[in-house]
Structure 1
Amino acid sequence: MNRMRTWLPALGAVVLLVLLVAWMAGLFRERLTPGLEEQQAVGPEPGYLVEPEVVPVSEPVAGSVEAKQATIVSSRIMSRIQKIHVRSGDQVSEGQVLVELEKSDLEARVAQAIDQIAAVRARLTEAERNLQRAVELQGRGLLSVADRDAAQANRDTLQAELQSAEQVLAESRAALAYASIQSPIDGRVVDRFAEPGDTAAPGSRLISLYNPLSLRVEAQVREQLALALAIGQPIPVSLPALDLHIEGAIEEIVPAAEPGSRSFQVKIRLPYDERLLPGMYARVSVPAGSGQRLYVPTSLLARVGQLWVVSVSGPEGPERRFLRLGRELPDGRAEVVSGLAPGEQVLPLE
């Protein structure tokens, strides 16, 4: 009896262990017949089907903004600069005085030429009277023909001296006018290269000007594309510094290629914008035929840091895909550079 009491707890523990192993093996659960479970047909998931579109293709070409009407103002005489009335950025009008040179010696030359003319005229008046008297005396036989001819020669000489003196006066007045240097165009001052007190020499640069209404973009276009362009053709132009996208028109195509780059210089007229300045970087979109492009709605995209993520329908369900995007269109779609293939289904992000 005592021996049975000793083995009974051990036997209960063994039975409990066996039952636990049987439950873990699934003996007490309903068994399924081996085979593949039939899956219910699922309709197509809602999303955007990526299909290629044939669109015009353009090639970006670097260019710079230049002024068609630009000029360098210089002096035509040598003189000391007395005043400069403009600085960089000032607006000027045609005929406005920009620089004044020292003109005291020029004014003295004008006064001297005027006095010279007065003296010659006085002598000419006397010579004409003498000639008139000589003609009268010679007519009455009181004066020889030689004396009359001498009086006439003296009058003619003084007339020539008067014309010469008047020409000297005109030159002196012209030189005096050169002392006030005026703007040849309506425009804007780019820079000034001299200061009051400097000596202005003939041909030396004093001020540079340009007309803001004549700005255009000049770009070097490779010959394969340049030969297909035409004067007046509209061309998209963008200026990244101003975040500006405008449409220009081809104004000129230089009919000679650069031997090194095999490119033609194309000049594109721009509409006026007060923010445009000469020398700014511009990007020209030159037509280059057509090609296929992929687009996806921006509403189906999510940004993670500097990457764009999209959900794509895959054989095992939705999968995340990183994309590289191009430009955005006004209709709310973006160009896919890489990451998607034609025929794939883009799903809404959860």
Structure 2
Amino acid sequence: MGGMMQKSNVVKLMKMLKFGGSLVGLVLIVVWSAGLLQEKQAPGKMDALDGRLLPEGAVVHEVVALEMPTRVSLSGTVHSERRIHLSSRIPAYVKDIHVMAGSVVKDGDLLIELDQRELLKELAAAEAQLSLAETGYQRSDRLLKTNATTVQAFEMAESGYKAALAGVERIKVMLTYTQITSPINGVVTDRHVETGDLAGAGQGLLSVYDPERLRLDVPVPARLVSKFPVGQKVTVTLDQVATPVEGKVVEIVSEFDPVTRTRRVKIHLVNVKGDVLPGMYGQVAVDLDPRPVVLVPQDAVTAIGQLTYVQKVAGARCVTRWVTTGRRMDDRIEILSGVSHGDRLLLNK
């Protein structure tokens, strides 16, 4: 009996030692994992490297700034040098319209007819008044010759006759105002009325412009006005016109625009054809003094929406740099900011 108890106690002791050993081992693992058994180092900062590693086989371009003349393009609008706005000189209804916008007309062509009925009634009444006044005038003239009337009575009859005659002539002139004719050879534009509309005195009816006398009006900054002396020939590029047009500076407006601080330069367009229309957008270029220009291959520039960037090479790494781009010249792009002479750029090959 005593031997069995002794054996049981030994087993219990073995189990306790085994459990204790496991516990000690677990504690040692936790202590080692926490670094408590290693030599401690003072806290510090680790330098972070910019960008990314340069890809293997990367093609690098070295930037070289070149002295190049700068060309500035100035925008303007085409206007007709001879544009006439036709208005009604009398209040009347529009009877008929013989043209539409875009119609080619000649000097003297009838464009619009206004209703004459009211004026014809006034003319009939004025002619009747003239006939009566003329009869009274002639009778007073006969009586004066025989001293049967006074000079005062004769003068009153004469004055009434002249007033009635002037009234008839006035209405006849007003009747001519009902016939709106073209004052030039040109093209109709901006028709503002339709048949049946009531045109008031002074109301604009339509406009006619001369298609052979056109000019480009360009707002020019003050610093560039000297580049456009009167008489100088320039090349004008027009929107929707395939070939450039020759131009000649004919006038420089003598005042500045208070908002844009520019002066308007008028450039006459030489030998233009029917494909050039008022309101067209045009450009004229002017060369400035040479300045350093940074041009890089298009493969060096990446666009994301409205933003552009390059990969600048520094040692064995490349760093993203946002840039501002300018003109495109063949397969090169002008860099306005973000890249300098001597920089090395990664090409997107």
Q: TM-score range by the shorter chain?
A: 0.5 to 0.7
Match in the other structure for 2:114: 101
Shift of 1:294: 11
Match of residue 61, structure 1, among 58, 74, 81: 74
Tell me, in whole angstroms, the C-alpha distance in 1 between the residues paired with 2:90 and 2:126.
Answer: 19
- State the SS of the aligned residue for 2:78: strand
**Structure 1 residues 178 and 128, CA gap change in structure 2 (3 angstroms):** same
- State the SS of the aligned residue for 2:111: strand
Tell me, in whole angstroms, the C-alpha distance in 2 between the residues paired with 1:325 and 1:285.
Answer: 14
Shift of 1:93: 1.6
After superposition, the C-alpha distances for 1:144-166 in whole angstroms (9 at most, x for unaligned) are: xxxx6x52221111111111111
Tell me, in whole angstroms, the C-alpha distance in 2 between the residues paired with 1:338 and 1:126.
Answer: 96
**Structure 1 residues 66 and 335, CA gap change in structure 2 (3 angstroms):** farther
Tell which deviates more after alignment, 284-293 or 264-273.
284-293
**Structure 1 residues 166 and 287, CA gap change in structure 2 (3 angstroms):** farther
Match in the other structure for 1:230: 229
Tell me, in whole angstroms, the C-alpha distance in 2 between the residues paired with 1:73 and 1:86.
Answer: 13
- State the SS of the aligned residue for 1:213: coil
- Note if contact 1:77-1:178 (Cα within 8 Å) is conserved in structure 2: yes
Shift of 1:267: 0.9
Tell me, in whole angstroms, the C-alpha distance in 2 between the residues paired with 1:76 and 1:269.
Answer: 33
- Note if contact 2:294-2:334 (Cα within 8 Å) is conserved in structure 1: no
- Note if contact 1:294-1:335 (Cα within 8 Å) is conserved in structure 2: no
After superposition, the C-alpha distances for 1:111-165 in whole angstroms (9 at most, x for unaligned) are: 222222222121112111111112xxxxxxxxxxxxx6x5222111111111111
1:10-25 paired onto structure 2 within 5 Å: none
Tell me, in whole angstroms, the C-alpha distance in 1 between the residues paired with 2:91 and 2:141.
Answer: 41
Match in the other structure for 1:310: none
Tell me, in whole angstroms, the C-alpha distance in 1 between the residues paired with 2:239 and 2:152.
Answer: 79
Match in the other structure for 1:17: none
Tell me, in whole angstroms, the C-alpha distance in 1 between the residues paired with 2:327 and 2:175.
Answer: 66
Tell me, in whole angstroms, the C-alpha distance in 2 between the residues paired with 1:221 and 1:133.
Answer: 81
Match in the other structure for 2:207: 208
- Any unmatched runs of 5+ in structure 2? 1-63, 300-325, 336-349
- Note if contact 2:239-2:280 (Cα within 8 Å) is conserved in structure 1: no
Number of aligned residues: 248
- State the SS of the aligned residue for 2:212: helix
- State the SS of the aligned residue for 1:192: coil
- Note if contact 1:293-1:336 (Cα within 8 Å) is conserved in structure 2: no
1:285 equivalent to 2:298? Answer no
1:1-350 paired onto structure 2 within 5 Å: 57-134=70-147, 150-271=149-270, 272-290=272-290, 326=328, 337=333
- State the SS of the aligned residue for 1:256: coil
**Structure 1 residues 100 and 265, CA gap change in structure 2 (3 angstroms):** same
Tell which deviates more after alignment, 154-163 or 104-113.
104-113
**AA in 1 matched with 2:210:** N
**Structure 1 residues 280 and 204, CA gap change in structure 2 (3 angstroms):** same
- State the SS of the aligned residue for 1:125: helix
Match in the other structure for 1:16: none
**Structure 1 residues 158 and 287, CA gap change in structure 2 (3 angstroms):** farther
Tell me, in whole angstroms, the C-alpha distance in 2 between the residues paired with 1:88 and 1:261.
Answer: 33
**AA in 2 matched with 1:207:** L
After superposition, the C-alpha distances for 1:31-90 in whole angstroms (9 at most, x for unaligned) are: xxxxxxxxxxxxxxxxxxx9x7976x5310111111121122111111111100000110
TM-score by length of 2: 0.63
Identical amino acids, percent of aligned pairs: 29
Tell me, in whole angstroms, the C-alpha distance in 2 between the residues paired with 1:104 and 1:293.
Answer: 74
Tell me, in whole angstroms, the C-alpha distance in 2 between the residues paired with 1:193 and 1:78.
Answer: 15
**AA in 2 matched with 1:124:** Y
Query: What's the RMSD between the two structures over aligned residues?
Result: 3.2
- Note if contact 1:325-1:335 (Cα within 8 Å) is conserved in structure 2: no
After superposition, the C-alpha distances for 1:307-331 in whole angstroms (9 at most, x for unaligned) are: xxxxxxxxxxxxxxxxx9856xxxx
- State the SS of the aligned residue for 2:139: helix
**AA in 2 matched with 1:163:** K
Match in the other structure for 2:59: none
**Structure 1 residues 255 and 70, CA gap change in structure 2 (3 angstroms):** same
**AA in 1 matched with 2:93:** R
Shift of 1:207: 1.0
Shift of 1:261: 2.1
- Note if contact 2:227-2:286 (Cα within 8 Å) is conserved in structure 1: no
Tell me, in whole angstroms, the C-alpha distance in 1 between the residues paired with 2:237 and 2:116.
Answer: 49
TM-score by length of 1: 0.63
Shift of 1:291: 6.0
- State the SS of the aligned residue for 1:106: helix
Tell me, in whole angstroms, the C-alpha distance in 1 between the residues paired with 2:198 and 2:236.
Answer: 44
- State the SS of the aligned residue for 2:101: coil
